[in-house]
């Protein structure tokens, strides 16, 4: 835009569709906060808030699986975790709960520690891409919540995992 008065001010107008109802009683500091938030989204190349909400509603978590007695992330999961990190970064009102699991081989104490190490390996990856630990919540189940039977190799493989869920603040 360019003003028609003597000041000849110029600028840009950026419009986002929103379901927020505005009226004459809008608090100036609230408006400034919203403006700063939207500018920050644009600078980071993030989608509009309505699009973010749609993305979050349509997001489908998948488990991350580990080899027997291992806590290191497999390369095949890094693109998925990176995409999840983008989602976390774009939504300041959510945190991600990370729950580590194991199969039933080993003692309860050992499996609790292994499930913790698995969840913490996800934390390490998220930290490396800029997601701070305070955006994450951890739970360590060991072998207590199997996804499948521990009586065969295929079932045990499905139990060596980390699961995720949104936590809304």
Q: Comparing C-alpha atoms, which of 39, 42, 49 is closest to residue 17?
A: 49
Is residue 103 within 8 Å of 66, Cβ to Cβ? no
Beta pairing, strands 136-142 & 161-168: unpaired
Count Cβ atoms below 10 Å from residue 126 Cβ, excluding itself. Answer: 22
Count Cβ atoms below 10 Å from residue 71 Cβ, excluding itself. Answer: 21
Q: What is the percentage of the chain residues whose pLDDT exceeds 70?
A: 78
Secondary element (H or E) of residue 165: strand 161-168
The predicted structure's pLDDT at residue 120: 97
pLDDT digits 0-9 by tens, 75-126: 999 999 999 998 888 777 789 999 999 999 999 999 999 999 999 999 999 9
């Amino acid at each position: 835009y360019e003003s028609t008065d003597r000041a000849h001010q110029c600028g840009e107008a950026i419009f986002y569709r929103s379901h927020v109802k505005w009226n004459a009683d809008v608090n100036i500091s609230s408006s400034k906060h919203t403006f700063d938030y939207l500018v920050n989204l644009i600078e980071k190349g993030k989608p509009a808030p309505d699009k973010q909400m749609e993305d979050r509603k349509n997001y489908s978590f998948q488990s991350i699986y580990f080899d027997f007695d291992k806590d290191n992330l497999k390369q095949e999961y890094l693109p998925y975790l990176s995409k999840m990190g983008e989602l976390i970064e774009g939504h300041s009102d959510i945190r991600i709960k990370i729950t580590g699991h194991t199969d039933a081989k080993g003692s309860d104490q050992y499996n609790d520690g292994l499930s913790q190490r698995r969840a913490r390996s996800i934390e390490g990856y998220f930290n490396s891409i800029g997601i701070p630990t305070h955006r994450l919540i951890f739970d360590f189940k060991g072998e207590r919540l199997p996804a499948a039977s521990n009586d065969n190799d295929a079932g045990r493989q499905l139990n060596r995992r980390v699961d995720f869920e949104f936590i809304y603040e």
